[in-house]
Structure 1
């Protein structure tokens, strides 16, 4: 049985308080009746999340914000000298020891948290201390894949980000075309997986094969702005970035495609919806 993970277990016993669940090795966890909203028989399987409470394994049908080996943004519900308790999305709060806090965690504030199992205590634990741009092997995605991002922090190079809740990557400052905020969520694209195992990410798809997304974005802005945008292929990169959140290169590709499709008219200092 894996604490901190969602898994499928078998119902081995029922009582007035809930169900006893069992894995293939015979290890047991308790599922309280407050989480039971469907009728199942002894011997049937159920998918649950396993957590620890007073050194006992318990199960819940609640969905946690993150599992062991993942990142999530959590709010602090209580801060003590020994550590902080975070709202994990399940009935049991997650504990972050004081020594695992990058800065002192304050009650009511939100933090990016990574979950792991403390090898000495064998307990699910949180930390706000993690490596920047670590090296990875056997990544489950490739260049061009669309991914979910959590914005970590801005640095001299750009923005450090969490990719699909599990991996840390970097968006270079030259690829940022919109205002970003720590702990916000964005969609991005794998730009490059480097030989050293580090991951470069972009907020925009790469290449002509993804030009339709840029074209649609410009059409949407034109419709919102009564069919007129004071941008053209002569506009500065800064003006294009502020107005449509894309690079000048991608903007020129997109309006060229829209012009060929006879959807817009390109004038000296503006584009107009036809």
Structure 2
């Protein structure tokens, strides 16, 4: 039985309160009646999430915000001296022990939580203490790959982020071209993966092959601004960043391509959209 994971289990027994589901080794988890289909029959397979409740294995058809080995943004529903209970999307709350809290968790607030199985207690547990990727060999990520990001917080070098709910990465300050906020969700791109497992991430794709995205941003902004955009080669990186959330380097590449395609005019202090005939 894969504790803390969604899996296919077979119905082995039915009673008035629910179903007993079984894996290939004969281990069982109980699915309460509220999650069971009325037409479920013994021998049928069901996709369920398996968790622990009072030292017993239970199953649910609900989808947790994070499974074991994943991060999710969760709201604290109760804070006690011994730890905090977090809403992670299923009927039973996730417990984060006091010793696993980076800072005291406060009821009603949202936190980035990592879900794991405590090796001593053998219980599904949450933590807000994390420093690096627990497994960094053969990461299933490629340079340039588009990924989902959850912003963890700011550091001396930039912003720490969680990639695809599983891996910790860093966006260097020099690669930040828009305002970021802790616990916000963004789209990013893998910039590099180092031998020690550290992952560098960018908010924008690199290279001319991705310039279409930047050109679209500029054209959309020109449409909104009645065909004029008061940015040019002479504009500062900060001005371009504030207006378009892109680097000056990518801005110059994009307007160069738009100029060659005769979609814009480049004037001394602005660019102008060329009306189609």
Residue equivalent to 2:170: 170
3-state SS of the aligned residue for 2:221? Answer: helix
Residue equivalent to 1:226: 226
3-state SS of the aligned residue for 2:160? Answer: strand
Checking the alignment, whether the CA contact within 8 Å between 2:72 and 2:114 is kept in structure 1 is yes
Residue equivalent to 2:16: 16
Checking the alignment, whether the CA contact within 8 Å between 1:79 and 1:85 is kept in structure 2 is yes
C-alpha displacement of 1:36:
2.5
Distance 1:135 1:245 in 2: 33
Checking the alignment, whether the CA contact within 8 Å between 1:133 and 1:199 is kept in structure 2 is no
Q: 1:142 to 1:38 in 2, by over 3 A?
A: farther
Distance 1:133 1:40 in 2: 41
3-state SS of the aligned residue for 1:217? Answer: helix
Distance 1:223 1:18 in 2: 59
State how 1:1-274 maps to structure 2 within 5 Å.
Answer: 1-37=1-37, 39-132=39-132, 136-274=136-274
Q: Which runs of 4+ in 1 moved over 4 A?
A: 132-135
Checking the alignment, whether the CA contact within 8 Å between 2:133 and 2:197 is kept in structure 1 is no
Distance 2:66 2:119 in 1: 19
Distance 1:70 1:130 in 2: 12
TM-score by length of 1: 0.97
Gaps spanning 5+ residues in structure 2: where? Answer: none
C-alpha displacement of 1:21:
0.5
TM-score by length of 2: 0.96
Distance 1:50 1:107 in 2: 26
C-alpha displacement of 1:134:
6.6
Distance 1:223 1:38 in 2: 55
Considering only aligned residues, what root-mean-square deviation do their CA atoms show, in Å?
A: 1.2
C-alpha displacement of 1:103:
0.7
Distance 2:132 2:12 in 1: 44
Checking the alignment, whether the CA contact within 8 Å between 2:132 and 2:198 is kept in structure 1 is no
Distance 1:39 1:254 in 2: 58
Distance 2:181 2:71 in 1: 17
Distance 1:156 1:178 in 2: 17
Q: Aligned residues, how many?
A: 274
C-alpha displacement of 1:258:
1.2
